[in-house]
Amino acid sequence: MTTTTASVATQPVSQRIAIALKSVSVLYPGHCQALSNVSLEIGAGEFVFIVGASGAGKSTLLKLLTHEESCTSGTIFVEGCDVSGMKVNQIPALRRRVGVVYQNFGLLPDRTVYENVAFAMRVTGAGRREVIRRLPEVLELVGLQSRPDAFPGQLSGGEQQRVAIARALVNRPSLLLADEPTGNLDPETSLGIVELLHDINATGATVLVATHDVAIVDRSARRVLEFADGVLVRDEACGRYGRGVLEDCGEAV
Amino acid sequence: MNINSVGFLLHEGWLNIRRHLWMSLAALATVAVTLMVLGGTTWTAYRIHEIVAQEPEQFNVIDVFMKPATTREETLAVQTALKGNPMVRAVTLTTKEQAWAKLGSSDPTLTTALQDNPLMDRLQVQARSSDKVSQLAHWLKTQKQFPQIMQVNDADYEVGVLMGFAAIVRNIGLAVAFALAAATLLIVYNTIRLTVYSRRRELQIMKLVGATPWFIRCPLIFEGLFHGICGSLIASIALIIAAAQVSRFTQTLHSPLIAHASAAIGPLQVFIFLGLTGALVGLTGSILAIHRFVRL
Protein backbone atom coordinates (compact mmCIF):
# COMPACT_ATOMS: atom_id res chain seq x y z
CA MET A 1 0.00 0.00 0.00
CA THR A 2 1.53 3.28 -1.08
CA THR A 3 0.94 6.47 0.83
CA THR A 4 2.28 9.73 -0.47
CA THR A 5 2.09 13.11 1.14
CA ALA A 6 2.79 15.74 -1.49
CA SER A 7 4.47 19.06 -1.09
CA VAL A 8 2.91 22.05 -2.78
CA ALA A 9 3.85 22.40 -6.44
CA THR A 10 6.21 24.76 -8.20
CA GLN A 11 3.46 27.23 -9.11
CA PRO A 12 3.37 30.47 -7.12
CA VAL A 13 0.62 29.72 -4.62
CA SER A 14 -0.11 30.98 -1.14
CA GLN A 15 0.91 28.97 1.89
CA ARG A 16 -2.73 28.36 2.80
CA ILE A 17 -3.88 24.77 2.44
CA ALA A 18 -7.09 24.43 0.41
CA ILE A 19 -7.45 20.65 0.69
CA ALA A 20 -5.92 18.22 3.15
CA LEU A 21 -6.59 14.48 3.29
CA LYS A 22 -5.11 12.38 6.11
CA SER A 23 -5.21 8.59 5.80
CA VAL A 24 -8.52 8.64 3.95
CA SER A 25 -10.11 5.35 2.96
CA VAL A 26 -13.44 4.69 1.27
CA LEU A 27 -14.90 1.23 1.35
CA TYR A 28 -18.08 0.66 -0.65
CA PRO A 29 -20.56 -2.09 0.25
CA GLY A 30 -19.33 -5.46 -1.00
CA HIS A 31 -15.75 -4.77 0.23
CA CYS A 32 -14.95 -2.59 -2.78
CA GLN A 33 -12.03 -0.33 -1.79
CA ALA A 34 -12.52 2.97 -3.67
CA LEU A 35 -9.72 4.83 -1.86
CA SER A 36 -7.07 3.38 0.36
CA ASN A 37 -5.18 5.33 3.01
CA VAL A 38 -4.76 8.48 0.90
CA SER A 39 -2.95 11.47 2.36
CA LEU A 40 -2.29 14.66 0.42
CA GLU A 41 -2.33 18.41 0.63
CA ILE A 42 -3.24 20.94 -2.04
CA GLY A 43 -2.42 24.59 -1.55
CA ALA A 44 -4.86 27.40 -2.22
CA GLY A 45 -4.57 28.60 -5.81
CA GLU A 46 -3.01 25.38 -7.14
CA PHE A 47 -3.98 23.72 -10.42
CA VAL A 48 -3.91 19.92 -10.09
CA PHE A 49 -4.64 17.10 -12.52
CA ILE A 50 -5.89 13.80 -11.13
CA VAL A 51 -5.19 10.91 -13.47
CA GLY A 52 -5.62 7.16 -13.44
CA ALA A 53 -7.62 4.39 -15.08
CA SER A 54 -11.38 4.14 -14.72
CA GLY A 55 -12.27 2.98 -11.21
CA ALA A 56 -8.95 4.21 -9.81
CA GLY A 57 -10.68 6.52 -7.34
CA LYS A 58 -10.53 9.92 -9.10
CA SER A 59 -14.25 10.62 -9.01
CA THR A 60 -14.56 9.27 -5.47
CA LEU A 61 -11.91 11.75 -4.36
CA LEU A 62 -13.85 14.65 -5.92
CA LYS A 63 -17.13 13.44 -4.38
CA LEU A 64 -15.51 13.34 -0.95
CA LEU A 65 -14.62 17.01 -1.29
CA THR A 66 -18.27 17.99 -1.85
CA HIS A 67 -19.55 15.46 0.70
CA GLU A 68 -21.45 13.54 -1.98
CA GLU A 69 -19.61 10.54 -0.55
CA SER A 70 -18.36 10.00 2.98
CA CYS A 71 -15.03 8.45 3.88
CA THR A 72 -14.91 5.25 5.88
CA SER A 73 -11.85 6.43 7.82
CA GLY A 74 -9.46 9.37 7.91
CA THR A 75 -10.02 13.12 7.90
CA ILE A 76 -10.71 15.56 5.08
CA PHE A 77 -10.27 19.32 5.35
CA VAL A 78 -11.56 21.66 2.66
CA GLU A 79 -10.78 25.35 3.13
CA GLY A 80 -10.15 24.64 6.79
CA CYS A 81 -13.45 22.83 7.37
CA ASP A 82 -13.48 19.24 8.59
CA VAL A 83 -15.64 17.65 5.87
CA SER A 84 -15.39 14.13 7.31
CA GLY A 85 -17.06 15.18 10.55
CA MET A 86 -19.51 17.59 8.95
CA LYS A 87 -23.16 17.69 10.01
CA VAL A 88 -25.90 17.56 7.35
CA ASN A 89 -26.92 21.18 7.90
CA GLN A 90 -23.31 22.33 7.28
CA ILE A 91 -23.05 20.69 3.85
CA PRO A 92 -24.78 23.47 1.83
CA ALA A 93 -22.26 26.03 3.14
CA LEU A 94 -19.39 23.77 2.02
CA ARG A 95 -20.89 23.27 -1.45
CA ARG A 96 -21.27 27.02 -1.97
CA ARG A 97 -17.49 27.24 -1.70
CA VAL A 98 -16.89 24.42 -4.19
CA GLY A 99 -17.88 24.60 -7.88
CA VAL A 100 -18.33 21.33 -9.76
CA VAL A 101 -18.17 20.59 -13.52
CA TYR A 102 -19.01 17.21 -15.07
CA GLN A 103 -18.26 15.42 -18.32
CA ASN A 104 -21.93 15.34 -19.35
CA PHE A 105 -22.40 19.08 -18.53
CA GLY A 106 -25.57 18.48 -16.48
CA LEU A 107 -27.43 21.42 -18.02
CA LEU A 108 -31.19 21.86 -17.87
CA PRO A 109 -32.35 21.40 -21.48
CA ASP A 110 -35.53 23.46 -21.12
CA ARG A 111 -33.74 26.54 -19.80
CA THR A 112 -31.57 29.05 -21.61
CA VAL A 113 -27.89 29.68 -20.94
CA TYR A 114 -28.85 32.62 -18.75
CA GLU A 115 -31.49 30.63 -16.84
CA ASN A 116 -29.15 27.67 -16.34
CA VAL A 117 -26.52 29.86 -14.73
CA ALA A 118 -29.04 32.02 -12.86
CA PHE A 119 -30.65 28.85 -11.44
CA ALA A 120 -27.47 28.09 -9.49
CA MET A 121 -27.63 31.56 -7.94
CA ARG A 122 -31.35 31.61 -7.21
CA VAL A 123 -31.34 28.25 -5.39
CA THR A 124 -28.75 29.59 -2.98
CA GLY A 125 -31.08 32.46 -2.13
CA ALA A 126 -29.70 35.19 -4.41
CA GLY A 127 -32.18 37.87 -5.44
CA ARG A 128 -33.08 38.87 -8.99
CA ARG A 129 -30.97 42.06 -8.83
CA GLU A 130 -27.92 40.16 -7.68
CA VAL A 131 -28.35 37.75 -10.59
CA ILE A 132 -28.68 40.61 -13.10
CA ARG A 133 -25.49 42.15 -11.71
CA ARG A 134 -23.40 38.97 -11.62
CA LEU A 135 -24.47 37.03 -14.74
CA PRO A 136 -22.95 39.19 -17.54
CA GLU A 137 -19.63 39.12 -15.73
CA VAL A 138 -19.57 35.30 -15.56
CA LEU A 139 -20.84 34.80 -19.11
CA GLU A 140 -18.10 37.11 -20.35
CA LEU A 141 -15.49 35.13 -18.43
CA VAL A 142 -16.53 31.90 -20.22
CA GLY A 143 -17.00 33.65 -23.58
CA LEU A 144 -20.77 33.24 -23.85
CA GLN A 145 -21.86 36.85 -23.41
CA SER A 146 -23.42 36.84 -26.90
CA ARG A 147 -25.55 33.72 -26.35
CA PRO A 148 -27.50 34.18 -23.13
CA ASP A 149 -30.82 33.22 -24.75
CA ALA A 150 -29.64 30.03 -26.44
CA PHE A 151 -30.88 26.66 -25.19
CA PRO A 152 -28.33 23.88 -24.51
CA GLY A 153 -29.55 21.99 -27.59
CA GLN A 154 -28.51 24.95 -29.75
CA LEU A 155 -24.94 24.96 -28.41
CA SER A 156 -21.84 22.94 -29.31
CA GLY A 157 -20.32 20.58 -26.74
CA GLY A 158 -17.60 23.08 -25.89
CA GLU A 159 -20.15 25.85 -25.40
CA GLN A 160 -22.26 23.62 -23.19
CA GLN A 161 -19.23 22.87 -21.05
CA ARG A 162 -18.57 26.61 -20.80
CA VAL A 163 -22.12 27.09 -19.52
CA ALA A 164 -21.47 24.35 -16.93
CA ILE A 165 -18.27 26.12 -15.89
CA ALA A 166 -20.12 29.46 -15.66
CA ARG A 167 -22.71 27.78 -13.43
CA ALA A 168 -19.97 26.34 -11.23
CA LEU A 169 -18.31 29.76 -10.93
CA VAL A 170 -21.33 31.98 -10.48
CA ASN A 171 -21.40 31.68 -6.69
CA ARG A 172 -17.71 32.63 -6.52
CA PRO A 173 -16.34 29.33 -5.19
CA SER A 174 -12.72 29.25 -4.02
CA LEU A 175 -12.36 25.68 -5.27
CA LEU A 176 -13.36 24.32 -8.70
CA LEU A 177 -13.62 20.56 -9.28
CA ALA A 178 -13.88 19.27 -12.84
CA ASP A 179 -14.61 15.57 -13.41
CA GLU A 180 -13.62 14.64 -16.97
CA PRO A 181 -14.54 18.12 -18.29
CA THR A 182 -13.19 17.33 -21.78
CA GLY A 183 -14.44 13.74 -21.96
CA ASN A 184 -17.10 14.54 -24.57
CA LEU A 185 -15.14 17.13 -26.53
CA ASP A 186 -12.81 17.10 -29.53
CA PRO A 187 -9.08 17.88 -28.91
CA GLU A 188 -9.26 21.49 -30.05
CA THR A 189 -12.33 22.30 -27.95
CA SER A 190 -10.73 20.48 -25.02
CA LEU A 191 -7.74 22.81 -25.15
CA GLY A 192 -10.09 25.80 -25.12
CA ILE A 193 -11.80 24.45 -21.98
CA VAL A 194 -8.47 23.82 -20.25
CA GLU A 195 -7.34 27.34 -21.14
CA LEU A 196 -10.52 28.62 -19.51
CA LEU A 197 -9.78 26.56 -16.40
CA HIS A 198 -6.28 28.03 -16.31
CA ASP A 199 -7.77 31.54 -16.57
CA ILE A 200 -10.05 30.74 -13.65
CA ASN A 201 -7.06 29.41 -11.71
CA ALA A 202 -5.23 32.66 -12.47
CA THR A 203 -7.95 34.57 -10.62
CA GLY A 204 -6.93 32.72 -7.44
CA ALA A 205 -9.29 29.73 -7.43
CA THR A 206 -7.92 26.28 -6.67
CA VAL A 207 -8.69 23.94 -9.60
CA LEU A 208 -8.75 20.12 -9.56
CA VAL A 209 -9.29 18.33 -12.85
CA ALA A 210 -9.85 14.57 -13.04
CA THR A 211 -9.09 13.48 -16.59
CA HIS A 212 -8.07 10.77 -19.06
CA ASP A 213 -6.94 13.35 -21.59
CA VAL A 214 -3.20 12.85 -22.10
CA ALA A 215 -2.72 15.92 -24.29
CA ILE A 216 -4.11 18.48 -21.90
CA VAL A 217 -2.13 17.10 -18.95
CA ASP A 218 1.12 16.96 -20.85
CA ARG A 219 0.68 20.44 -22.35
CA SER A 220 -0.34 22.04 -19.10
CA ALA A 221 2.75 21.05 -17.11
CA ARG A 222 1.01 21.23 -13.76
CA ARG A 223 0.91 19.11 -10.65
CA VAL A 224 -0.31 15.55 -11.30
CA LEU A 225 -1.78 13.08 -8.82
CA GLU A 226 -2.06 9.54 -10.16
CA PHE A 227 -4.35 6.96 -8.62
CA ALA A 228 -4.39 3.19 -9.18
CA ASP A 229 -6.93 0.94 -7.46
CA GLY A 230 -7.72 3.62 -4.90
CA VAL A 231 -4.11 4.26 -3.99
CA LEU A 232 -2.23 7.49 -4.65
CA VAL A 233 0.77 6.12 -6.58
CA ARG A 234 2.30 9.33 -7.93
CA ASP A 235 2.36 12.98 -6.95
CA GLU A 236 4.51 15.15 -9.19
CA ALA A 237 4.69 18.89 -8.86
CA CYS A 238 5.09 19.21 -12.61
CA GLY A 239 4.08 15.97 -14.23
CA ARG A 240 2.93 14.23 -17.38
CA TYR A 241 -0.06 11.99 -17.82
CA GLY A 242 2.22 8.94 -17.78
CA ARG A 243 5.50 8.51 -15.97
CA GLY A 244 8.43 10.38 -17.48
CA VAL A 245 10.25 13.70 -17.44
CA LEU A 246 8.53 16.79 -18.74
CA GLU A 247 11.01 19.05 -20.51
CA ASP A 248 9.05 22.33 -20.58
CA CYS A 249 7.99 22.23 -16.93
CA GLY A 250 6.50 25.42 -15.61
CA GLU A 251 5.01 26.64 -18.88
CA ALA A 252 1.30 26.49 -19.17
CA VAL A 253 -0.60 25.91 -22.42
CA MET B 1 -35.27 32.85 2.85
CA ASN B 2 -36.32 36.28 1.51
CA ILE B 3 -39.34 37.42 -0.48
CA ASN B 4 -37.37 36.96 -3.73
CA SER B 5 -36.77 33.33 -2.83
CA VAL B 6 -40.45 32.75 -2.03
CA GLY B 7 -41.40 33.98 -5.51
CA PHE B 8 -38.72 31.77 -7.07
CA LEU B 9 -39.84 28.70 -5.10
CA LEU B 10 -43.50 29.24 -6.03
CA HIS B 11 -42.45 29.55 -9.68
CA GLU B 12 -40.46 26.31 -9.46
CA GLY B 13 -43.43 24.56 -7.82
CA TRP B 14 -45.70 25.78 -10.60
CA LEU B 15 -43.25 24.41 -13.20
CA ASN B 16 -43.49 21.01 -11.46
CA ILE B 17 -47.28 21.05 -11.80
CA ARG B 18 -47.17 22.08 -15.47
CA ARG B 19 -44.76 19.28 -16.32
CA HIS B 20 -47.21 16.62 -15.06
CA LEU B 21 -50.42 18.36 -15.91
CA TRP B 22 -52.51 15.19 -16.31
CA MET B 23 -51.14 13.55 -13.20
CA SER B 24 -51.68 16.81 -11.32
CA LEU B 25 -55.27 16.98 -12.56
CA ALA B 26 -55.82 13.36 -11.46
CA ALA B 27 -54.46 14.16 -8.00
CA LEU B 28 -56.56 17.30 -7.82
CA ALA B 29 -59.76 15.50 -8.91
CA THR B 30 -59.22 12.70 -6.38
CA VAL B 31 -58.67 15.20 -3.59
CA ALA B 32 -61.84 17.01 -4.67
CA VAL B 33 -63.98 13.82 -4.73
CA THR B 34 -62.62 12.67 -1.37
CA LEU B 35 -63.33 15.98 0.25
CA MET B 36 -66.80 16.15 -1.31
CA VAL B 37 -67.66 12.79 0.31
CA LEU B 38 -66.05 13.76 3.60
CA GLY B 39 -67.64 17.20 3.58
CA GLY B 40 -71.05 15.91 2.48
CA THR B 41 -71.30 13.25 5.17
CA THR B 42 -69.92 15.53 7.86
CA TRP B 43 -72.36 18.23 6.86
CA THR B 44 -75.33 15.83 6.93
CA ALA B 45 -74.40 14.37 10.31
CA TYR B 46 -73.72 17.85 11.69
CA ARG B 47 -77.07 19.15 10.46
CA ILE B 48 -79.00 16.29 12.08
CA HIS B 49 -77.23 16.82 15.38
CA GLU B 50 -77.81 20.55 15.08
CA ILE B 51 -81.53 20.11 14.44
CA VAL B 52 -81.82 18.01 17.58
CA ALA B 53 -79.58 20.27 19.64
CA GLN B 54 -80.83 23.65 18.46
CA GLU B 55 -84.54 22.87 18.46
CA PRO B 56 -85.10 20.88 21.64
CA GLU B 57 -88.55 22.50 21.95
CA GLN B 58 -89.96 20.41 19.12
CA PHE B 59 -88.79 17.24 20.86
CA ASN B 60 -90.16 18.41 24.24
CA VAL B 61 -93.69 18.17 22.91
CA ILE B 62 -95.80 15.10 23.73
CA ASP B 63 -98.92 14.41 21.70
CA VAL B 64 -101.89 13.30 23.81
CA PHE B 65 -104.85 11.96 21.81
CA MET B 66 -108.30 11.87 23.46
CA LYS B 67 -110.80 9.05 23.00
CA PRO B 68 -113.35 9.77 20.18
CA ALA B 69 -116.26 9.86 22.66
CA THR B 70 -114.63 12.56 24.80
CA THR B 71 -116.65 15.77 24.95
CA ARG B 72 -115.03 19.16 24.41
CA GLU B 73 -115.68 20.06 28.08
CA GLU B 74 -113.85 16.94 29.26
CA THR B 75 -110.89 17.72 26.93
CA LEU B 76 -110.72 21.30 28.24
CA ALA B 77 -110.80 19.97 31.80
CA VAL B 78 -107.87 17.63 31.07
CA GLN B 79 -106.03 20.55 29.46
CA THR B 80 -106.52 22.72 32.55
CA ALA B 81 -105.47 19.89 34.88
CA LEU B 82 -102.30 19.17 32.87
CA LYS B 83 -101.37 22.87 32.88
CA GLY B 84 -101.19 22.64 36.67
CA ASN B 85 -98.58 19.86 36.52
CA PRO B 86 -95.13 21.22 37.58
CA MET B 87 -93.39 19.29 34.74
CA VAL B 88 -95.58 21.00 32.11
CA ARG B 89 -94.85 24.37 30.53
CA ALA B 90 -97.82 24.64 28.15
CA VAL B 91 -100.72 22.62 26.76
CA THR B 92 -102.16 23.44 23.33
CA LEU B 93 -105.45 22.03 22.09
CA THR B 94 -105.99 21.07 18.47
CA THR B 95 -109.63 20.13 18.07
CA LYS B 96 -110.67 17.33 15.75
CA GLU B 97 -112.49 19.93 13.63
CA GLN B 98 -109.30 21.99 13.24
CA ALA B 99 -107.33 18.86 12.35
CA TRP B 100 -110.03 17.85 9.83
CA ALA B 101 -109.95 21.31 8.22
CA LYS B 102 -106.15 21.20 7.97
CA LEU B 103 -106.30 17.73 6.41
CA GLY B 104 -108.94 18.97 3.98
CA SER B 105 -106.81 21.89 2.88
CA SER B 106 -103.75 19.72 2.26
CA ASP B 107 -105.59 16.71 0.75
CA PRO B 108 -109.26 17.45 -0.21
CA THR B 109 -109.74 14.06 -1.91
CA LEU B 110 -109.07 12.27 1.36
CA THR B 111 -111.66 14.23 3.35
CA THR B 112 -114.18 13.83 0.52
CA ALA B 113 -113.63 10.08 0.47
CA LEU B 114 -113.84 9.71 4.23
CA GLN B 115 -116.92 11.96 4.58
CA ASP B 116 -117.07 11.62 8.44
CA ASN B 117 -114.32 13.03 10.58
CA PRO B 118 -112.50 10.10 12.26
CA LEU B 119 -109.90 12.34 13.96
CA MET B 120 -109.73 13.10 17.68
CA ASP B 121 -108.91 16.06 19.84
CA ARG B 122 -105.19 16.39 20.44
CA LEU B 123 -103.40 18.05 23.35
CA GLN B 124 -99.80 19.03 22.66
CA VAL B 125 -98.10 18.96 26.05
CA GLN B 126 -94.80 20.81 26.19
CA ALA B 127 -92.42 19.73 28.95
CA ARG B 128 -90.76 22.38 31.11
CA SER B 129 -87.31 21.05 30.05
CA SER B 130 -85.95 18.32 27.77
CA ASP B 131 -84.83 16.15 30.72
CA LYS B 132 -88.45 16.01 31.95
CA VAL B 133 -89.86 14.71 28.63
CA SER B 134 -89.37 11.02 29.31
CA GLN B 135 -90.67 11.26 32.88
CA LEU B 136 -93.72 13.26 31.79
CA ALA B 137 -94.45 10.87 28.88
CA HIS B 138 -94.18 7.88 31.21
CA TRP B 139 -96.57 9.48 33.71
CA LEU B 140 -99.10 10.30 30.98
CA LYS B 141 -98.97 6.75 29.66
CA THR B 142 -99.44 5.12 33.07
CA GLN B 143 -101.77 7.56 34.91
CA LYS B 144 -105.33 6.58 35.81
CA GLN B 145 -106.55 10.10 36.61
CA PHE B 146 -107.68 10.89 33.04
CA PRO B 147 -109.42 7.86 31.49
CA GLN B 148 -110.33 10.04 28.45
CA ILE B 149 -106.72 9.77 27.19
CA MET B 150 -106.47 7.18 24.46
CA GLN B 151 -102.85 7.42 23.28
CA VAL B 152 -99.63 9.24 24.22
CA ASN B 153 -96.85 9.81 21.60
CA ASP B 154 -93.54 11.29 22.69
CA ALA B 155 -90.56 12.32 20.52
CA ASP B 156 -88.22 9.61 21.79
CA TYR B 157 -88.87 7.48 18.74
CA GLU B 158 -88.31 10.27 16.19
CA VAL B 159 -85.13 11.41 17.94
CA GLY B 160 -83.88 7.82 18.05
CA VAL B 161 -84.50 7.32 14.32
CA LEU B 162 -82.90 10.65 13.47
CA MET B 163 -79.80 10.07 15.59
CA GLY B 164 -79.45 6.50 14.28
CA PHE B 165 -79.62 7.81 10.73
CA ALA B 166 -77.02 10.46 11.54
CA ALA B 167 -74.71 7.81 12.99
CA ILE B 168 -75.06 5.60 9.90
CA VAL B 169 -74.41 8.52 7.55
CA ARG B 170 -71.42 9.59 9.63
CA ASN B 171 -69.90 6.10 9.92
CA ILE B 172 -70.32 5.15 6.26
CA GLY B 173 -69.15 8.59 5.18
CA LEU B 174 -66.09 8.46 7.40
CA ALA B 175 -65.19 4.94 6.18
CA VAL B 176 -65.53 5.97 2.51
CA ALA B 177 -63.72 9.26 3.11
CA PHE B 178 -60.91 7.44 4.95
CA ALA B 179 -60.45 5.00 2.04
CA LEU B 180 -60.53 7.86 -0.46
CA ALA B 181 -58.10 9.89 1.66
CA ALA B 182 -55.67 6.95 1.59
CA ALA B 183 -56.06 6.75 -2.21
CA THR B 184 -55.53 10.51 -2.47
CA LEU B 185 -52.40 10.30 -0.35
CA LEU B 186 -51.02 7.65 -2.70
CA ILE B 187 -51.86 9.73 -5.77
CA VAL B 188 -50.22 12.86 -4.35
CA TYR B 189 -47.26 10.69 -3.27
CA ASN B 190 -46.97 9.27 -6.78
CA THR B 191 -47.26 12.69 -8.41
CA ILE B 192 -44.43 14.03 -6.27
CA ARG B 193 -42.39 10.89 -7.05
CA LEU B 194 -42.81 11.62 -10.78
CA THR B 195 -41.77 15.21 -10.18
CA VAL B 196 -38.67 14.08 -8.30
CA TYR B 197 -37.82 11.76 -11.19
CA SER B 198 -38.38 14.34 -13.94
CA ARG B 199 -36.57 17.06 -12.00
CA ARG B 200 -33.67 14.92 -10.83
CA ARG B 201 -31.21 17.15 -12.73
CA GLU B 202 -32.52 20.30 -11.07
CA LEU B 203 -32.45 18.61 -7.67
CA GLN B 204 -28.89 17.40 -8.29
CA ILE B 205 -27.78 20.90 -9.31
CA MET B 206 -29.54 22.42 -6.33
CA LYS B 207 -27.68 20.04 -4.02
CA LEU B 208 -24.30 20.63 -5.65
CA VAL B 209 -24.43 24.40 -5.65
CA GLY B 210 -25.35 24.42 -1.96
CA ALA B 211 -29.12 24.89 -1.80
CA THR B 212 -30.36 24.17 1.71
CA PRO B 213 -32.53 21.04 2.22
CA TRP B 214 -35.60 23.24 2.80
CA PHE B 215 -34.96 25.13 -0.43
CA ILE B 216 -34.91 21.80 -2.28
CA ARG B 217 -38.03 20.50 -0.53
CA CYS B 218 -40.12 23.67 -0.78
CA PRO B 219 -41.27 23.46 -4.45
CA LEU B 220 -42.28 19.80 -3.89
CA ILE B 221 -44.19 20.68 -0.72
CA PHE B 222 -45.84 23.55 -2.56
CA GLU B 223 -46.93 21.12 -5.29
CA GLY B 224 -48.54 18.79 -2.72
CA LEU B 225 -50.24 21.71 -0.99
CA PHE B 226 -51.50 23.00 -4.33
CA HIS B 227 -53.24 19.67 -5.04
CA GLY B 228 -54.76 19.59 -1.55
CA ILE B 229 -55.95 23.19 -1.40
CA CYS B 230 -57.23 23.42 -4.99
CA GLY B 231 -59.02 20.08 -4.56
CA SER B 232 -60.64 21.36 -1.38
CA LEU B 233 -61.66 24.57 -3.14
CA ILE B 234 -63.50 22.58 -5.83
CA ALA B 235 -65.08 20.35 -3.16
CA SER B 236 -66.17 23.37 -1.10
CA ILE B 237 -67.85 25.06 -4.05
CA ALA B 238 -69.64 21.82 -5.02
CA LEU B 239 -70.73 21.27 -1.44
CA ILE B 240 -72.04 24.80 -0.97
CA ILE B 241 -74.05 24.52 -4.20
CA ALA B 242 -75.39 21.11 -3.10
CA ALA B 243 -76.29 22.46 0.36
CA ALA B 244 -78.19 25.34 -1.23
CA GLN B 245 -80.15 22.87 -3.39
CA VAL B 246 -80.99 20.67 -0.39
CA SER B 247 -81.99 23.73 1.59
CA ARG B 248 -84.32 24.89 -1.21
CA PHE B 249 -85.87 21.40 -1.33
CA THR B 250 -86.42 21.12 2.45
CA GLN B 251 -88.15 24.48 2.51
CA THR B 252 -90.75 23.15 0.08
CA LEU B 253 -91.56 20.27 2.46
CA HIS B 254 -93.07 22.58 5.15
CA SER B 255 -91.95 20.06 7.75
CA PRO B 256 -91.52 21.52 11.23
CA LEU B 257 -88.73 19.01 11.88
CA ILE B 258 -86.47 19.96 8.98
CA ALA B 259 -87.56 23.53 8.46
CA HIS B 260 -84.44 24.72 10.21
CA ALA B 261 -82.16 22.65 7.95
CA SER B 262 -82.02 25.70 5.70
CA ALA B 263 -79.75 27.33 8.26
CA ALA B 264 -76.75 25.40 6.88
CA ILE B 265 -73.12 25.63 8.00
CA GLY B 266 -71.66 28.88 6.65
CA PRO B 267 -69.53 28.76 3.48
CA LEU B 268 -66.52 30.03 5.46
CA GLN B 269 -66.68 27.04 7.81
CA VAL B 270 -66.89 24.65 4.85
CA PHE B 271 -63.88 26.30 3.18
CA ILE B 272 -61.85 26.20 6.39
CA PHE B 273 -62.70 22.59 7.26
CA LEU B 274 -62.15 21.21 3.76
CA GLY B 275 -59.18 23.52 3.09
CA LEU B 276 -57.38 22.31 6.20
CA THR B 277 -58.17 18.66 5.43
CA GLY B 278 -57.02 19.05 1.80
CA ALA B 279 -53.85 20.85 2.85
CA LEU B 280 -53.12 18.09 5.38
CA VAL B 281 -53.55 15.34 2.76
CA GLY B 282 -51.40 17.22 0.19
CA LEU B 283 -48.73 18.03 2.76
CA THR B 284 -48.56 14.47 4.10
CA GLY B 285 -48.38 12.96 0.58
CA SER B 286 -45.58 15.29 -0.47
CA ILE B 287 -43.58 14.90 2.76
CA LEU B 288 -43.79 11.09 2.52
CA ALA B 289 -42.60 11.20 -1.12
CA ILE B 290 -39.77 13.63 -0.32
CA HIS B 291 -38.69 11.47 2.61
CA ARG B 292 -38.66 8.40 0.37
CA PHE B 293 -37.26 9.72 -2.91
CA VAL B 294 -35.20 12.87 -2.30
CA ARG B 295 -31.66 12.23 -1.11
CA LEU B 296 -30.25 15.41 0.41
Are A95 and B210 inside 8 Å of each other by CB? yes
CA–CA min distance B202, chain A (Å): 7
Q: Looking at this predicted complex, what is its ipTM?
A: 0.78
Residue A247 maps to a domain: no
Considering the domain architecture, whether residues A20 and A91 belong to the same structural domain is answered as yes
Residue A177 maps to a domain: yes
Are A224 and A49 in contact by the 8 Å Cβ rule? The answer is yes
Residue where one domain finishes, among candidates A148, A172, A196: A172
pLDDT tier for residue A75 given thresholds of 50, 70 and 90: very high
Considering the domain architecture, whether residues A22 and A38 belong to the same structural domain is answered as yes
> What residue numbers bound the domain in which A83 lies?
1-97+173-237
Residue A226 maps to a domain: yes
**How many structural domains does chain A have?**
2
Closest CA to A41 of A75, A59, A18: A18
pLDDT at A4: 39
Size of interface A-B (CB pairs under 8 A): 58
Residue A242 maps to a domain: no
Q: Does residue A95 sit at the B interface (CB-CB below 8 Å)?
A: yes
Residue where one domain finishes, among candidates A138, A172, A206: A172
Q: Quote the CA–CA distance of A219 and A215 in Å, as a whole number.
A: 6
Considering the domain architecture, whether residues A38 and A69 belong to the same structural domain is answered as yes
Residue where one domain finishes, among candidates A124, A141, A172: A172
- The answer to whether residue B60 scores a pLDDT higher than 80 is no
Considering the domain architecture, whether residues A162 and A178 belong to the same structural domain is answered as no
Q: Is A43 helix (H, G, I), strand (E, B) or coil?
A: strand
Residue A249 maps to a domain: no
Q: Does residue B5 sit at the A interface (CB-CB below 8 Å)?
A: yes
Q: Does residue A132 sit at the B interface (CB-CB below 8 Å)?
A: no
Among the partner residues A68, A108, A120, nearest to B209 by beta-carbon distance: A120
Are A115 and A89 in contact by the 8 Å Cβ rule? The answer is no
Name chain B contacts of A105, Cβ cutoff 8 Å: none
Phi, psi of B154 (to 5 degrees): -105, 175
Phi, psi of A71 (to 5 degrees): -80, 150
Higher pLDDT: A189 or A247? It is A189
CATH number of domain containing A21: 3.40.50.300
Give B201-253 pLDDT, tens digit per residue: 888 888 888 888 888 898 889 988 998 999 999 998 898 888 888 877 777 76
CB within 8 Å of chain B, chain A residues 181-240 = none
pLDDT tier for residue B256 given thresholds of 50, 70 and 90: low
Considering the domain architecture, whether residues A24 and A137 belong to the same structural domain is answered as no
Residue A57 maps to a domain: yes
Give A123-153 pLDDT, tens digit per residue: 888 888 999 999 999 999 999 999 999 999 9
Residue A156 maps to a domain: yes
Give B122-141 pLDDT, tens digit per residue: 998 988 876 777 788 888 88
Q: Quote the CA–CA distance of A176 and B183 in Å, as a whole number.
A: 47
Which of A3-7, A40-44, B113-117 has the least mean pLDDT? Answer: A3-7
Q: Quote the CA–CA distance of B290 and B296 in Å, as a whole number.
A: 10
- The nearest alpha carbon in chain A to B203 belongs to A123
- The answer to whether residue B257 scores a pLDDT higher than 70 is no
Are A93 and B210 inside 8 Å of each other by CB? yes
Identify the residue among A122, A131, A170 best suited for mutation to test binding to B, counting B beta carbons within 10 A and taking the highest.
A122
Task: Fill in the amino acid letter for A150.
Answer: A
Considering the domain architecture, whether residues A71 and A127 belong to the same structural domain is answered as no
Considering the domain architecture, whether residues A111 and A92 belong to the same structural domain is answered as no
Considering the domain architecture, whether residues A160 and A41 belong to the same structural domain is answered as no
pLDDT at A249: 63
Higher pLDDT: B24 or A179? It is A179
The per-residue pLDDT of chain B, averaged, comes to 82
Considering the domain architecture, whether residues A83 and A191 belong to the same structural domain is answered as yes
Name chain A contacts of B4, Cβ cutoff 8 Å: 126-128
Identify the residue among A90, A105, A123, A175 best suited for mutation to test binding to B, counting B beta carbons within 10 A and taking the highest.
A123
Give A98-113 pLDDT, tens digit per residue: 999 998 888 988 899 9
Considering the domain architecture, whether residues A93 and A6 belong to the same structural domain is answered as yes
- The answer to whether residue B4 scores a pLDDT higher than 90 is no
Q: Does residue B218 sit at the A interface (CB-CB below 8 Å)?
A: no
Considering the domain architecture, whether residues A6 and A78 belong to the same structural domain is answered as yes
Are B211 and A128 inside 8 Å of each other by CB? no
Are B212 and A66 inside 8 Å of each other by CB? no
How far CA A139 is from CA of A145, A172, B47, in Å, comes to 5, 13, 65
- The answer to whether residue A30 scores a pLDDT higher than 50 is yes
Are B208 and A66 inside 8 Å of each other by CB? yes
Q: Does residue A104 sit at the B interface (CB-CB below 8 Å)?
A: no
Closest CA to A135 of A86, A174, A169: A169
- The nearest alpha carbon in chain A to B295 belongs to A68
Considering the domain architecture, whether residues A37 and A88 belong to the same structural domain is answered as yes
Residue A245 maps to a domain: no
